[in-house]
Every structure is written in C-alpha cells, then in structure tokens.
Chains A and B, each alone.
Chain A
Amino acid sequence: MTEQVSAHKDPVVIAFANEVLDGFSDVCRSLRYATFLTDDGFEVASIAGDEKQNRRVASMASSMQALGDAVAKDLRIGGAEYIIIAAETGYVIQMRVPEHAMVLAAHFDAAETVGKALSVVRLAASNMRTLVRDKAA
C-alpha cells in the first residue's frame, strides 16, 4: 500500500487545486474568492484573500459542510450536495469534491445569478475530482 498523504500536504494535489482555481476565476468574473479545503478544515489552495483569512474560511467552511451533512442525515434526505449562504452583497456556495474528502468554497458578488455561480462551482469541483482520480490511476 502506498503512503496516504493528506491533500493539504500533497504538492501534486495542491498544484491541481491551483490549476482548477485559475480556470475558475477566468470563466467567472464575479468570483471574489475561492478555496479548496480538506473535510477537516485545512486549506489546500485558494485564490485571493490573505493567508490568515484563507485558513479561517477553510475552518468555517468545513464546519458548515459538516452541519449541512448532519441536517440532511437527520432528515434522511441523503447527503448534502451544496450549501448556499445568501448575504446582502454577495453569496457563498460550497460543494464537496465528489468522492473525495475535500470541499470547494467560493464567494461571489451579488452581480452573478445563483444558477450561473452554482454551475461553475459544480464544474470546478468536478474538474478537481477528475484530476485527483487520474493521478491515483
């Protein structure tokens, strides 16, 4: 068995995450901020934001994700697919990278429609999955 390196310490995964995030900000101008994090709240990679802020967002997003999963589990409606926080001047969408213990959290300004933002987040999460899966293969 190969040694399992956690995502936030794995240079290859970090490089993938940066690659996906770069493409992400290209397709979506209203994106203010985005970060990949491990399920237990360690920052893997981010665009924009200072270091301290990124770490804090990673912890909070991990708590949010887990609370979302806990609510969905309690209501027996399956796993939480994504979480949206709508605020006055923008919103945050977060989504698990399918099949991985990793989450993408992204902050958009209010100019974007939720539908568009959701679809680019889904695309970025799915791109991340493909990269990590192909690496494992």
Chain B
Amino acid sequence: MAEHVILFAGPMGAGKTTAIESLSEIETIRTEATNTDRETADKDTTTVALDYGEITVSDEDKVRLYGVPGQRRFNFMWTILKERAVGLILLVNNDAADPIEELDAFLEEFGELHEKGGIVVCVTRSDVAPTPYLDKYAERIREVMPGRMIPVFTADARNADQMRTALMSLIANIEMTAMIAGNQERAA
C-alpha cells in the first residue's frame, strides 16, 4: 500500500486540528493564529494554513494527515491540499448554526474525493448539541451524493480511539476503491 494522504475538512471549530493532534504519532505542524472571529467559533486560535500529522496503520503503512482551515476565505489552501489527498474525513460540529447546511457546502467543495478514494463524515460536539441526529446527515448525504457509500459517525475529536475508528473505516474504503479500479484496468 502506498502512503496515503488524508484530508480533514469541515467548518470552523469542527475539530480538525484537535483530531489530527489526537491521531498523530509525530509532533504535529500547526499554523494557528489568534482568532478574531469569536462569533463563528468561540475559541482562542484558528488554523490559517494547514495542520499536519502522521500515523502508522497496519504494520508500516504511513498515513499523512492534513487539516485545512475551516474558514472559506482560506479556500486557496483547500484547492492546494485537495490535489494531494486520496480521502476525506469531513468533520461537522453538531453545535454549528446549521450543521446540515455545512455538511452540504463541504460535500460540494470536497465531494470529488469520494471518487479518488473515499469520504467519511464525523459529527463532533454532539455532547454540546444533541441534535440534529445522524439520520439527518445520512439523509442529506443521500440527496447530494446519491448511490455513494459515505459512512457517518459521531465522534469526539479529542478521543484518539474514536478518530482512529473513523480513519480505519476510510482507509478500508480507499483500498476497496483502489482494488475495484485495479480490477477494471485488468478487465479492459
């Protein structure tokens, strides 16, 4: 298996930086700046370029983890990092003003990563805001990306085990996509 590049995307405050921190085996690279937009997410810092971490899965397969800034004005970074990635963990914080709309907007931006490997959706901060329930997410995913297999989990970005479960599920998807592509090539 080649070295995978996995992208973490989603709205401001969803937990992308936190998730990479939880998962990474190396000291993460961060680009946090003082956050002046407290209305959108009430936290001290926000990512302005990228997060980077690494994790080894199944023996010696190294997975590179890149986090993007959540704020749309940094979408040039989305374009740059999307190029490299073969899979997406889309984090959506359940306490966002309209989490289902956020899901929709980020699927529109990053949906192409499904064809490149796979997408997994993680709903975070459901302890802070219990609704919407997962079925609302699943429903919207079916509407905007019909016929695609995109699992939805609830997960706490601070919890390494939960994030690892989501990551392993994504990697399984990516490998399946690669296998199917390989079979189609051989058949052609």
Contacts and interface: CB of A to CB of B under 8 A. Distances in A.
B36 A6 contact: yes
Nearest to B69: A63
Contacts of A69: 31
A130 B25 CA distance: 43
Nearest to B32: A66
Interface string B9-35: 000000000000000000001111111
Give the interface residue-count category, chain A: 20 to 34
A6 B38 CA distance: 10
Given A41-B74, A59-B73, A66 B36 contact: no
B46 interface: yes
Contacts of B76: 56, 59-60, 63
B116 to A, nearest CB: 24
Chain A interface mostly helix, strand, loop or mixed?
helix
A105 B37 CA distance: 21
B29 to A, nearest CB: 5
A46 interface: no
Interface of B: 29-37, 46, 48-50, 69, 71, 73-74, 76-77
22 contacts: A8-B36, A9-B36, A38-B33, A39-B48, A40-B35, A40-B37, A40-B48, A41-B33, A41-B71, A41-B73, A41-B74, A56-B76, A58-B73, A59-B73, A59-B76, A62-B48, A63-B31, A65-B33, A66-B32, A67-B49, A70-B31, A74-B29
